[in-house]
Structure 1
């Protein structure tokens, strides 16, 4: 009789233990989920700003951007400085050398088109002439704020001139360069430094660090620029 009571008592405890164990596991799972959500929230709060040290010695904090996002000023500076580098030449800064070092800032299917356009700007002196006298100076007058036209793609308008000076024309002449320029984000820069880099190699490399490239250039009045493919 005593044994029967002991077995009955044991059988009544087993369901309680099962329920208690299940409840404990459920509580542990809820705690893990809660801790996970708290860690994710903490991670978002701790990582929205990163320390960036500038060349001039200043330090700033910035918000992180995904690989397809760029700040408007980054896009504007990339466009302005890329065009200035590519279209400013002299006997000490030969156009062919500039093209070789900086052409990778353009999408591969745009390079031949733009090279043809450069030669058309300077019909009397072809681009490949590395011994030309005089100077070509690219002057940017205005670059518009970037307009998003797709995922990681922007459109800007540039008003600029290329000024040409030579020994026979000290006053120089001006060639307008008013264009729509389409820019896109890329995963990795195509610019690499040679073993003994020259100033224009370093300039192109620095521009490539923005991980942007120009993939189309159209006349300022072209209404279909963003829909064209090169």
Structure 2
């Protein structure tokens, strides 16, 4: 009888031991999952997106790899799209609105000077009071291959015309815009995107995905503007 009681006692302990072991394993699994979720959140907060340049000149951002090199076509595409955006105006896209949105594509140090140049290009020399009957469109003829002037800095030459249409004048007037344009790589996102972006903001954000900024613009014939080549 004593032997039977001992065996029954051992048998009744085994299920309890199995249940306790399973519970311990589940608790350990939950703790590991909790730690993993915390690490994932920290990783998202501390990892910056990096640039990926496509062969056709487009640029997208992915995680993560710091890089200040840019393909020539990426630089040329950025300059062409940025200048076209900033120098094309109409009633629906007045120069003041365009500048407020696209100025993120220009370094803070160069923004005041470039804003003055843009104002001088408007038909009435006023950025805020743009004539609604006027349209000004930048038409680019040529953008040269980039010349690297320092690490993460390049220069291109742009030949373009700004077509000015007033009222019913469909022939328009052509103003040459021939410039040396200097750009530099940026290690962070260039343009921000609000919660409900308008088309201009979407355009500036897409152009800014190249992570480049304009830091100087000079007339094409201005020899004093050029920087020393490496």
Cα distance per residue 1:28-61 (max 9 Å; x no partner): xxxxxxxxxxxxxxxxxxxxxxxx898xxxxxxx
Structure 2 residues without counterparts, runs of 5 or longer = 1-51, 55-63
* C-alpha separation in 1, matches of 2:69 and 2:196: 33
Counterpart for residue 184 of structure 1: 184
Write the mapping of 1:1-230 to structure 2, written as runs, cut at 5 A. Answer: 67-122=67-122, 124-130=124-130, 132-167=132-167, 169-227=169-227
* C-alpha separation in 1, matches of 2:190 and 2:76: 20
Local SS of the residue matching 2:180: strand
With the length of structure 1 as denominator, give the TM-score of the two structures.
0.68
* C-alpha separation in 1, matches of 2:80 and 2:88: 12
Do the aligned residues in 2 keep the contact of 1:182 with 1:226 (CA within 8 Å)? no
* More divergent stretch after superposition (153-162 vs 216-225): 216-225
Do the aligned residues in 2 keep the contact of 1:163 with 1:172 (CA within 8 Å)? yes
Do the aligned residues in 2 keep the contact of 1:105 with 1:213 (CA within 8 Å)? yes
* C-alpha separation in 1, matches of 2:223 and 2:53: 41
Local SS of the residue matching 1:148: strand
Q: Once superposed, what is the RMSD of the aligned Cα atoms?
A: 2.2
Do the aligned residues in 2 keep the contact of 1:182 with 1:215 (CA within 8 Å)? yes
Instruction: Tell me by how many angstroms 1:168 deviates.
Output: 5.1
Do the aligned residues in 2 keep the contact of 1:178 with 1:220 (CA within 8 Å)? yes
* C-alpha separation in 1, matches of 2:150 and 2:207: 22
Local SS of the residue matching 1:99: helix
Instruction: Tell me by how many angstroms 1:215 deviates.
Output: 0.4
Local SS of the residue matching 2:101: helix
Local SS of the residue matching 1:136: strand
**Matched pairs, number:** 168
Instruction: Tell me by how many angstroms 1:169 deviates.
Output: 3.0
